[in-house]
Amino acid sequence: MQMQVKETGKNERVYRFKPSDIIDDEGILTVKIPEGVTSIGNFAVWGYSDLEKIIMPNSVTSIGTSAFSGCESLLEINLPINITDIGKDAFYKCKSLTVINMLSRVSKIRKNTFKGCNRLEEINIPDSVLCIYDSAFSCSGLTQIIIPNSIVYIGDSAFFGCRELEEITILSSEILTKNIKKDAFGKCPSLKKIYVTESLYKRIARNYDKICKKWGLNENVEISIFQEKELESDKVSDDRSISEETKSQTTTENDIKESLCNPAPLLFNEESIFAKVSIRSEEPKPLQANEFQKNLDEH
């Protein structure tokens, strides 16, 4: 069987799908892309609803715009480590997609990349990613998400309409509140907790109600400073109330470790604002501002 692979003048081998490429792999309709292919073309497999699995070789470095958009039966996909670019809408409305093994080195997750993947419950975002653009995970089935410390930008409606999303952890200490855009977490009725770094928490606290409304948070969301141990064991030490005087003081990380301070969580409502301060045992990796600007310009 001969697959359609186009040679380009840029030393690329671009794959484009045709129905005869599908094989029955133990009852799963599968396409195995041949070794040596470097790119999955724009709209390469667009709208082919019967396809259940794609196997890509490590030679693949890019996935084009809408490459797998509308592949409603696609169950899982492995993104090889050498992938550096994924086009917008690449997996838009892959409604059966439940597993994405993201080993790639992409620097951005583009607009609508995983929008409408309503059975996708979790995804590991690699530390190479700097920007998550508009509606990248909108209306997906995510139940929790860890945003790595490399992230400096989260676009409009990035996680909008994730109705099963319960918990968000933002490990980035460099991200500015203005770079988390409108309705980034809007219409997420199950969302209860957002864990952030101490530095991001302080930025949020300066204009708390305005920021929460901008992000689209519901009234029951708690915003807390994350504790490293919570990420490993999901165990939270017992909460204690904190006075307004204590909240107004600047507390260093060493002070926190010495006093084992762990006050009550901050709730998004107009009557009371409290902060759950936890121990952060590792300093997040700093980012270069020019890296963010370069990626923002390319979006």
Would you say residue 239 has pLDDT above 70? no
Quote the pLDDT of residue 42: 96
Q: What 3-state DSSP class applies to 241? A: coil
* Structure confidence by residue, pLDDT tens digits, 158-202: 999 999 999 999 999 989 999 999 999 999 999 999 999 999 999
Position 282 scores a pLDDT of 40
Q: Decide which of 213 and 238 is more confident.
A: 213
Beta strand residue intervals within the chain, DSSP E: 4-7, 13-16, 23-25, 28-32, 39-40, 53-55, 62-63, 76-79, 85-86, 99-102, 108-109, 131-132, 144-147, 153-154, 167-170, 193-196, 222-225, 266-267
Summarize pLDDT for 34-65 with one digit per residue, the tens: 899 999 999 999 998 889 999 999 999 999 99
Going by C-alpha positions, the residue among 110, 111, 87, 90 that lies closest to residue 100 is 90
- Average pLDDT rounded to a whole number, residues 123-131: 94
Q: Say if residue 287's pLDDT is above 70.
A: no
- Chain-wide mean pLDDT for the chain? 79
